[in-house]
Amino acid sequence: AQSVTQPDIHITVSEGASLELRCNYSYGATPYLFWYVQSPGQGLQLLLKYFSGDTLVQGIKGFEAEFKRSQSSFNLRKPSVHWSDAAEYFCAVGEGGTALIFGKGTTLSVSS
Amino acid sequence: EAQVTQNPRYLITVTGKKLTVTCSQNMNHEYMSWYRQDPGLGLRQIYYSMNVEVTDKGDVPEGYKVSRKEKRNFPLILESPSPNQTSLYFCASSSRDRYGYTFGSGTRLTVV
């Protein structure tokens, strides 16, 4: 069965430090992979997506993610975190644009 | 502005009283979907639609109905709401050609 695992429920990072959020997936074929961010009281915003091609994808707000087929991972990274990055982050996997399966999310706190 | 609009944003209702949450998108997207978000469970898909008059069940369809009579609208209907349907609901839409859901701002539903 398809599934998405985000091993870290909560992460705290100092402002200016680098960030890596982990995502592992289980999917039969080459999946479509997404990262979304949800600020408190807001809807979900698409950060980036991977379908094929270059395994390192760039997104909005300075985020990037790397697809590693051998590890079934799609980790999200940012070189320098800003206080405004504090939010909940969701990894999702799917086939086409219909049934997206979401991980349970990682809450990012940013300390000063 | 390209967006998915949900109404209402907040709703408190009583058990058994039929309600409809509206969803409209102005991007001419083929795909539309409803998700519910619950603490510790993440986002789970309720129903999705690949085009007008084409709908299918997601992971948690029990107690919900949808319709897709027009491309832009995808209302969620709760015929007889129960307290276990208290949740945060999101509507989302996606182009068939450029995958990646755009989410609405959410509807917080409380059933007492």
Write out chain B's pLDDT in tens, 112 residues.
889 999 999 999 999 999 999 999 999 999 999 999 998 888 999 999 999 999 999 989 999 999 999 999 999 999 999 999 999 999 999 988 777 889 999 999 999 9
Q: A99 CB near a chain B CB, below 8 Å?
A: yes
Distance from CA of B100 to the nearest CA of A (A): 6
Res A88 pLDDT > 80? yes
Residue of B37, B54, B91, B102 for testing the chain A interface, max A β-carbons within 10 Å: B37
Q: B48 CB near a chain A CB, below 8 Å?
A: yes
Give the model's pLDDT for residue B40: 85
- Quick one: average pLDDT of A72-90? 96
Secondary structure (3-state) at B78: strand
Check: CB of residue A103 under 8 Å from CB of residue A92: yes
Distance from CA of A102 to the nearest CA of B (A): 6
Res A97 pLDDT > 60? no
Task: Determine the Cα–Cα distance for residues B33 and B28; give it in Å rounded to an integer.
Answer: 14
A88 neighbourhood in chain B, CB within 8 Å = none
Distance from CA of A112 to the nearest CA of B (A): 27
Which range, of A57-61, A106-110, B1-5, B25-29, averages the lowest pLDDT? B1-5
Contacts of A75 (CB under 8 A, 6+ apart): A20, A21, A22, A23, A65, A66, A68
